[in-house]
Structure 1
Amino acid sequence: MRVGLSWLREHVDLPADLSAEALEAALVGLGIEVDSIVDLRATVNGPLVVGRVLTVEELTGFKKPIRFCTVDVGDANGTGAPQEIVCGASNFAPGDLVVVILPGGVLPGGFEIGARKTYGHMSAGMITSARELGLGEDHAGIIVLPPDTAERPGQDARPVVGLDDVVVEVEITPDRGYAMSVRGIARELGLALGVPFHDPALAGAPGATEEPAYPVDVRDPVGCDRFAARAVRGVDPTAVTPAFIVRRLTQAGIRTISLPVDITNYLMLEFGQPMHAFDLDRLRGPLVVRRAAPGEKLTTLDGVARTLDAEDMVICDDTGPISLAAVMGGETSEVHPGTTDVLFEAAHWDPVMVGRTARRHKLFSEAAKRWERGVDPALPLVALRRAVELMTAHGGGTVGDEILDFDAVRPRGPVEMAVDLPTRRVGVAYEPARVVGLLEAVGCTVTVNGERISAVPPTWRPDLTDPADLVEEVVRLDGYDKVPGRLPLAPAGRGLTDAQRRRRSVARALAETGHVEVLSYPFVGTPALDALGVPDDDPRRDLVKLANPLSDEEPFLRTTLLPPLLATLRRNVGRGARDLALYEVGVVFRGRGAGAPPVMGVDDRPSVSVFAAADAVVPEQPWHVAVVLAGEQESAGWWGGGRPASWADAVEAARTVLDTAGIPDERVTVRSAAVAPWHPGRCAEIAVDGVVVGWAGELHPGVVAALDLPKRTAAAELDLDALPAAPVTPAPRVSGFPPALIDVALVVGTGVPAAEVQAAIVAGAGDLLESVRLFDVYASEQLGEGRKSLAYKLTFRAPDRTLTVEEAVAARDAAVAEAANRFGATLRGA
């Protein structure tokens, strides 16, 4: 939010010599982030003057509207002659007052203004917009000043547009909606600097009359618990917005539209109370405030036809919805240039409803931003009083005696806490009187009852609901800088757990073998599981649904890492990447189906039974690791052809994970399986000690087609938490004697897993076998149908001697004999 210091001074007695540094320190000390403090007097250099448009010539033949204008700038140009300026805006006419920067001037950003020929005409200067002057983001048109802004053309425009002020821009956190107003920021500065604050809402306002200003039927008091309205009739439709409102709206980055609309925006900034102005003559029948019917249509003020949801709140007349409540009005009832009778509306809406509506329609208006953070329900009548006063003062008309005020606001209940709770939580000694005084300064009504206090929060602080909130207010007002910055001492012997070290080691090992780590959002939808071909009875279908998902298309938490990881693979392929090896280490979520969790407060520790009931609902969250591969695993070059990634590389990645986790090869079993989403003929089941911990292989062609992935995409996924603890491994004894190297090619049936043949070789060869590696798989007509050849490199070595040829051959023969005994293997060529 942007606000001028001069406006703040109307509500808080700021010191005359308040520096920008002191102002920033005061706001930051109370937890309000300051984006910038800008002295506007130094942002525009050179001649910036008020000009009156004399003539406008529309230039044709260009792709966009271009106008050649003459502007009276008085004696500011040194000659008194009209200034010739080419302008691309079209929101002004002859006779209008505009802001002109003459040659020699410099706009924010170092943009120097000169005289040059453009579009066939000489242009000496610029007619400026709010964005060009650094006053806001509005660039839809140039600034058009009210007719009574200046006594004469050529006078300095800085005071007119607010460039003689200091503008503060702050970022308001979601829990501090009250600070999105001049009233709120002034209140905070009064607390920070210890100076008087003058609340503009204390002026009061007349209450509801027996006859309402306009008939209204509020059918949903939960979504709208207060609705107030007052009418002004006989307004001058040609009345212009006064200069001080234009200046302050411009500083805040809000475009001026018309007097009634500008008044509502002005009061939204001043009080924090969003309002709406209806044209009374365009309303048809009584107003009805209700939830929308699914599929109802409404064209909002931005010209977009919107399909409404059943959760949306709308204001209707006999023609149907005329306003998307709390977010944006509709075209059919908006104030227009001929409006003479205005109905001002100020209401109080449910913040949750407004936030969801704004996100659903992607319509984040200034009103919606305030409503979803919480607005003071005591403001509607005060804001209406101020609105009708401004309307009659600057636009004429007569205020109706009738006042509508539907009020179903529930009074705030007290929040109780121990008076020493801030001291116990923060570690700073707060005297009881100090705690009470600070809470009263916030606006709470405090009652002391022995060692406990009861505080009723003010209407403008909907965020104060629990003892922890009151503690935060005590600490905030007393000063965060008084809180000691001491870190707790870490107990001896507590470092990374075994599981944490394992996860880090696995991630590092995969990265070192050429894989790239990604981090995905843990959200999925059922279409993703459908595309993977996951059966309906698969445990991966036991999804945990989020109460408030970021996207309606992905409302569940993932039960497997593959859907978001494969989406990342597809996205990178679509952006030109071809050879990809990605991995992710993260949690998956397995639902327990235990029902709703118990409601727990924050004022005390939950009991053992309540905690157990809550824990029973929390889904299991085991850690998984997944790898996806596409393109070439080994690049082609002058050294030869490349090699595409295959199911074997996915299996090898799984073996890398197990090896890094400290699982010995003899405890690992790799065998053929058929599990979605893998190809049934190219899927390996990974088991440790007979327990399946994951799968690896090539994805099913149907899955590849459904997800638009490269052909032969491979993947692996393992449950890290299912892996047993790594055994204590003794240090290896390194032999200084030479090895004996022997290659063995065994012919077995095509259905015999190579890993099981290798296990037989290890078992038969005995202690002399140092290592075994499969290096070739071969099949041909000569071997016979249903047969294949598996070639292994065997390394034999003795720790105490050089092996003889006879010893190595005997060990080899024993290995072959064991393979023959188990699988009927024969030596190839024998």
Structure 2
Amino acid sequence: MPYVPLSWLAEHVTVAPGTTAADLAADLVRVGLEPEQIIPPAVTGPLVVGRVLSVVTEEHKNGKSINYCRVDVGPEHNDAPGEGKEPADVPSRGIVCGAHNFTVGDDVVVALPGTTLPGDFHIAARKTYGHTSDGMICSARELGLGEDHSGIIVLREFLPGTEVPAPGSDAIALLGLGAEVLEVNVTPDRGYCFAMRGIAREYSHATGAAFTDPGLAENLPGGTPPAATEDGFPVEVDDAAPIAGNVGCDRFVTRIVRGIDPSAPSPAWMTERLTQAGMRPISLAVDVTNYVMLDLGQPLHAYDLATVHAPIMVRRGRVGDELTTLDDVRRTLHIEDLLITDSPDGELGGRVLGLAGVMGGAETEVSATTTDVLIEAAHFDPVSVARTARRHKLPSEAAKRFERGVDPRLQAVAAQRAVDLLVEYGGGTADPAVSDLDRTARPAPVRMRLDEPRRLTGVDYPAERVVALLREIGATVSEPEDGVVTVTPPSWRPDLVGPAHLVEEVARLDGYDNIPTVLPAAPAGRGLTADQVRRRDVARALADLGLVEVLSYPFVGDTHDRQQLPADDERRVALRLANPMADDAPLMRTTLLDTLLDTARRNVGRGLEDTRVYELGLVTRPAGVGVASSPGVGGRPSDAELAAIAAAVPRQPRHVAGVITGKVVPDGVQGPGRPADWTDAVDAVHAVAEAVGVSVELAAAERAPWHPGQCAEVRAGGAVVGHAGALHPRVAAAFDLPRGAVAFELDLDALSAAGEDALVVPVPVSTYPPSKEDIALVVDADVPAGEVLALVREGAGELGEDVRLFDLYTGEQLGEGKKSLAFALRLRAPDRTLTAEETAAVRERVVALAAERVGAVLRG
């Protein structure tokens, strides 16, 4: 994000006196920029100019050589009473300093007690080396003005050509440390605002202030840059594999500055601005390229000319290419990477110098001995730079700008600006040789109706206003023909490619607040869909049973093995993600238990042994699904392409599942609690079926991950819609769940579909009294209770208002392999009171039917 100091902004646009960072933020908001924060001054408190009056050098036992100095810090600060200051011939303060690059008479920067330096470093008087140090003489790094910590700041050297004020004067203002800085958040389509040039332009749009474009050749301080010469440093572009149809480099400018003083420091104003912008000052050549990039928006790169072999070639990567980047990391390059190369030993493009638009290489970087510098100013394809930066995890400042679009008309101007600064502050000489490989094209013109802004915004903009605003952003607008104009966007706005983008500019500059707020009339509510109502009913029914709803991520790993699923189980056919969020969970779940069992495990592992959780969610079943090709972006996909895409989307039915562990009835004063068993899972299934309005049938089954002897198959409408029962002990152990844990899972879509065709017939409430009958039937132990229950209901016929199983008994009295099932029947007729004979007839019919179908015997 760009940082905006007001003093720097004022170089390009007229800023009203007294403007604060908060005022600037409010102005930029009006044109669509988003202020992030206002950064307060890095230094607060009494930071003053001091003049060294005396220096006494002392050697201490630890080998440390220190200077005890008396420093004149002005009448207001010298010899503050009551603080134990040592006597002196003239008013001053005593300060201990470890640096030795100054002498008597030098003007320095003194942080007095009460000053706060960058890093929240508080200055106070303290006893050290046998003296009271009543402040601190500061170095550039301690003030956040650079990395030099070898010596303190001597103002005549640090601010050459500047008249140093008297001792006691405010050094914060002198060094520009008291300025607030505004941090601005820039959206990806406004890449030109990653430079002071762009921010100044937007401030001009917001306030009407006069703006001088520093990106125009005629506004350069040193004059128009020279044209390309035949003896310019040779550059070639060989891009046989362009990305997204765009050649990787369409402009490359080089300039040479010779005879630079390697020890020449960067000017204080430049290091101050770089620091305010969040960049670390390094050396003059590097600081100049960074400063020009921050000012104009054009990334530059400086090479040590002595290490570069002509010609430079811009090409794609080759197998085996490697590069040690400026961060001292050796990187293996990709064949899609756009590279800057040179030609040692006559091998064209044989050595890699840097990743184009991202980061340079260590072999040719400017060093402490560099005297001749080759400056590169190029224009690279945004897509290529973005992919390279992400591929190598190098989000450099240059890459941030290139991938958002850099002005292709800016390279010569930026290079000239860098040359001028190196000549002025480094003592170098600009080489007359200039190269400028320019294959850029003008922005494509856009045709727009002048009433298009009104159509899209609802504001009736006059045609003259629309044209004026478009010209204000730098666009060229033709004379209207039949209400249509041809607009050529400015070179720094690659985002303006259609009429809607131009309309946005009109609305933005005219003011979003001028667009009236119209509250649309709300249509009549349709309420929840039947499916939404059904899901809420299911959730409410399970909550009434004491289960808690959870939401888990649908990504899984080895859960199928832990569930003991057979090798040929259809649930093992899972969709694998190309870019999973976690390497150990690359698959989409095929059942809710895939993730719900892990959710239960985490709860149990955190001490909640009595866990009752359920989930309503989608599962992915990719079996039988093919792969569709991606359609192009040039137009709407055809019906056949859309059909192929739809066919390639896996089936995603909605399921409901639950897991119950521990006790469903806790221990209490009534006695010990009741642990969960398979009947609790079956009860949950019945609750779901009742909420959906579907009758289900249960039958014994064997299916992982349930225990073979305690697993029920759930059927509705003749189809299997789920299973319920106790988890297999090995599965419970694999998920660290207590023994006896139970679970259920239902295909809610299939369950709902089974009830969609059922005709709901209201049953009138009978006013006649019911008759009650209890029937106990003895059957073989392997006969499912649900099957017998269905037979009892069938035998009861229309008179059977309610039939339920209330007792299961096994014992020696019944004989081996037998069980007794007791059913309670409530019988009622809609038009009469039942007689004893009718009730007895129902009883006999039930017994006879059960005897015929399952060999049941009435228990005596």
Indicate the TM-score class for this superposition, using the shorter chain for normalisation: 0.7 to 0.9
Q: Does structure 2 retain, via aligned residues, the 8 Å contact 1:85–1:124?
A: no
The DSSP-based 3-state class of the residue aligned with 1:268 is helix
Please name the residue that 1:89 is paired with. Answer: none
The DSSP-based 3-state class of the residue aligned with 1:176 is helix
Deviations 1:607-638 (A, max 9, x none): 99599669747836756245464754648655
The DSSP-based 3-state class of the residue aligned with 2:216 is helix
Say if 2:78 is the partner of 1:78. yes
Of the three residues 345, 351, 365, the one matched with 2:382 is 351
Q: Which runs of 5+ in 2 are unaligned?
A: 80-91, 218-223, 345-349
Query: 2:45 corresponds to which letter in structure 1?
Result: N
Q: Does structure 1 retain, via aligned residues, the 8 Å contact 2:655–2:749?
A: no
Alignment CA distance shift 1:734-1:321 (3 Å): farther
Between the aligned partners of 2:699 and 2:448, the Cα distance in structure 1 is 61
Of the three residues 196, 201, 204, the one matched with 1:187 is 201
Query: 1:410-449 maps to which residues of 2 (within 5 A)?
Result: 410-447=441-478, 448-449=480-481
Alignment CA distance shift 1:423-1:696 (3 Å): farther
Please name the residue that 1:104 is paired with. Answer: 114
Between the aligned partners of 1:143 and 1:388, the Cα distance in structure 2 is 29
Please name the residue that 2:225 is paired with. Answer: 205
Alignment CA distance shift 1:607-1:60 (3 Å): same
Look at both structures and tell me which one has the larger radius of gyration over its CA atoms. Answer: 2
Please name the residue that 2:425 is paired with. Answer: 394
Say if 2:172 is the partner of 1:158. yes
Give 1:3 shift.
1.2
Between the aligned partners of 1:711 and 1:631, the Cα distance in structure 2 is 8
Say if 2:461 is the partner of 1:461. no
Between the aligned partners of 2:676 and 2:149, the Cα distance in structure 1 is 57
Q: Normalising by structure 1, report the TM-score.
A: 0.79
Q: Does structure 2 retain, via aligned residues, the 8 Å contact 1:59–1:68?
A: no
Alignment CA distance shift 1:422-1:157 (3 Å): same
Calculate the aligned-residue CA RMSD, in Å: 5.2
Q: Does structure 2 retain, via aligned residues, the 8 Å contact 1:735–1:798?
A: no
Query: 1:272-671 maps to which residues of 2 (within 5 A)?
Result: 272-283=297-308, 286-293=311-318, 297-317=322-342, 320-447=351-478, 448-507=480-539, 509-510=541-542, 513-517=545-549, 541=573, 543=575, 583-587=614-618, 593=626, 595-596=628-629, 598-599=631-632, 616=646, 619=649, 622=652, 624-627=654-657, 629=659, 632=662, 634=664, 655-660=686-691, 662-664=692-694, 666-667=695-696
Alignment CA distance shift 1:194-1:74 (3 Å): same
Between the aligned partners of 1:58 and 1:757, the Cα distance in structure 2 is 102
Aligned residues: 806
Alignment CA distance shift 1:537-1:799 (3 Å): closer
Say if 2:169 is the partner of 1:168. no
Alignment CA distance shift 1:290-1:51 (3 Å): farther
Between the aligned partners of 2:309 and 2:446, the Cα distance in structure 1 is 45
Deviations 1:577-608 (A, max 9, x none): 76665555455667764734555679xxx699
Between the aligned partners of 2:675 and 2:727, the Cα distance in structure 1 is 14
Please name the residue that 2:271 is paired with. Answer: 246
Query: Which is worse superposed, 584-593 or 606-615?
Result: 606-615
Q: Does structure 1 retain, via aligned residues, the 8 Å contact 2:317–2:339?
A: yes
Alignment CA distance shift 1:464-1:83 (3 Å): same
Between the aligned partners of 1:56 and 1:415, the Cα distance in structure 2 is 76
The DSSP-based 3-state class of the residue aligned with 1:772 is strand
Between the aligned partners of 1:811 and 1:188, the Cα distance in structure 2 is 90
Query: Which is worse superposed, 503-512 or 452-461?
Result: 503-512
Query: 1:717-796 maps to which residues of 2 (within 5 A)?
Result: 718-722=746-750, 723-724=752-753, 728=760, 730=762, 733=765, 747-748=779-780, 750=782, 755-766=786-797, 767-770=799-802, 772=804, 794=824, 796=826
Between the aligned partners of 1:180 and 1:27, the Cα distance in structure 2 is 14
Alignment CA distance shift 1:601-1:234 (3 Å): same
The DSSP-based 3-state class of the residue aligned with 2:379 is strand
Between the aligned partners of 1:797 and 1:56, the Cα distance in structure 2 is 112
Alignment CA distance shift 1:125-1:210 (3 Å): same
The DSSP-based 3-state class of the residue aligned with 1:239 is coil
Q: Does structure 1 retain, via aligned residues, the 8 Å contact 2:574–2:589?
A: no
Deviations 1:375-411 (A, max 9, x none): 2232222221111211221112222333333444444
Between the aligned partners of 2:493 and 2:808, the Cα distance in structure 1 is 74
Query: 1:129-144 maps to which residues of 2 (within 5 A)?
Result: none
Please name the residue that 1:690 is paired with. Answer: 718
Q: Which runs of 5+ in 1 are unaligned?
A: 87-91
Give 1:373 shift.
2.5
Deviations 1:770-815 (A, max 9, x none): 253678798999975xx68586764636488999999888767765
The DSSP-based 3-state class of the residue aligned with 1:40 is coil
Query: 2:114 corresponds to which letter in structure 1?
Result: G
Q: Does structure 2 retain, via aligned residues, the 8 Å contact 1:34–1:168?
A: yes
Query: 1:189 corresponds to which letter in structure 2?
Result: Y
Please name the residue that 1:672 is paired with. Answer: 701
Q: Does structure 1 retain, via aligned residues, the 8 Å contact 2:621–2:651?
A: yes
Please name the residue that 2:256 is paired with. Answer: 231
Deviations 1:99-144 (A, max 9, x none): 76431235699986433569999776578899998x89x9998998
Please name the residue that 2:158 is paired with. Answer: 148
Alignment CA distance shift 1:618-1:295 (3 Å): same
Q: Does structure 2 retain, via aligned residues, the 8 Å contact 1:596–1:617?
A: no
Deviations 1:292-322 (A, max 9, x none): 4567544433344444444443434567544
Give 1:481 shift.
1.3
Alignment CA distance shift 1:589-1:636 (3 Å): closer
The DSSP-based 3-state class of the residue aligned with 1:247 is helix
Say if 2:35 is the partner of 1:34. yes
Give 1:486 shift.
2.0
Give 1:182 shift.
0.8
Q: Does structure 2 retain, via aligned residues, the 8 Å contact 1:422–1:471?
A: yes
Q: Does structure 1 retain, via aligned residues, the 8 Å contact 2:573–2:621?
A: no
Q: Does structure 1 retain, via aligned residues, the 8 Å contact 2:616–2:657?
A: no
Query: 1:270 corresponds to which letter in structure 2?
Result: D
Q: Does structure 1 retain, via aligned residues, the 8 Å contact 2:789–2:804?
A: yes
Give 1:196 shift.
2.2
Alignment CA distance shift 1:109-1:336 (3 Å): closer
The DSSP-based 3-state class of the residue aligned with 1:481 is helix
Between the aligned partners of 1:749 and 1:537, the Cα distance in structure 2 is 30
Deviations 1:479-512 (A, max 9, x none): 2112222232233353332233334444455556
Between the aligned partners of 2:451 and 2:58, the Cα distance in structure 1 is 72
Give 1:186 shift.
1.0
Alignment CA distance shift 1:650-1:395 (3 Å): farther
Q: Normalising by structure 2, report the TM-score.
A: 0.76
Between the aligned partners of 2:26 and 2:426, the Cα distance in structure 1 is 41
Q: Does structure 2 retain, via aligned residues, the 8 Å contact 1:239–1:395?
A: yes
Q: Does structure 2 retain, via aligned residues, the 8 Å contact 1:56–1:93?
A: no
Query: Which is worse superposed, 722-731 or 195-204?
Result: 722-731
Alignment CA distance shift 1:473-1:212 (3 Å): same
